[in-house]
Structure 1
Amino acid sequence: MEELTGVKADNWKNTCRNQQRVTQDMVEAIGVIWPQYAYWLVTGKTDEVHGHTSPTRDRIARDLEKVKEEGDQ
């Protein structure tokens, strides 16, 4: 993540361990790398009509597509 975002790895680790709060730099970096998740990250909501999704919704869509493809074989 440090290479992708420029935010030090220790900061990411500390955030994951609940030893540090997410910083503005972290949110901005994620928004640049994954713009489709920016709205969800800040609000906790999705807005698929405008291209705002969440990692969970994307994962579900991929899994459903895989199941569908396997069923067509």
Structure 2
Amino acid sequence: MDAVRNRALQLIRAVGPKHLSELGGKNYERWRNISGGKIRISTEEVGILAEAYPQFALWLISGRTEPENGHISPDGAPSA
């Protein structure tokens, strides 16, 4: 789960806690505390990220990308 957590943190930091709070589901302070490492991300937040950013869902959960199928990483780098 640490790898998933690290990828989730990367995505949260890329889009920002404010934007995520505007999507609904969780408040700004919660996303900010997750981003800052003060609290651990829950499966609910991972689900919110996957739903809000389906193009990153495969990468978020597995670390893999399939650009030919529209599954990319936030930085656009292909996975190994």
1: CA distance, partners of 2:24 / 2:73? 19
Which stretch of structure 1 is more off in the superposition, 30-39 or 4-13? 4-13
- The Cα shift of 1:34 comes to 0.9
Identity level (%)? 31
Is 1:16 aligned with 2:16?
A: no
**Larger RCO, structure (CA 8 Å, separation 6 or more):** 2
Q: 1:5 to 1:39 in 2, by over 3 A?
A: farther
The alignment of Structure 1 onto Structure 2 pairs a total of residues equal to 58
Structure 2 alignment gaps of length 5 or more: 1-19
2: CA distance, partners of 1:39 / 1:5? 22
> By percentage of residues, which structure has more helix?
1
Structure 1 alignment gaps of length 5 or more: 59-73
Normalised by the length of structure 1, the TM-score is 0.68
The code of the aligned residue for 2:50 comes to G
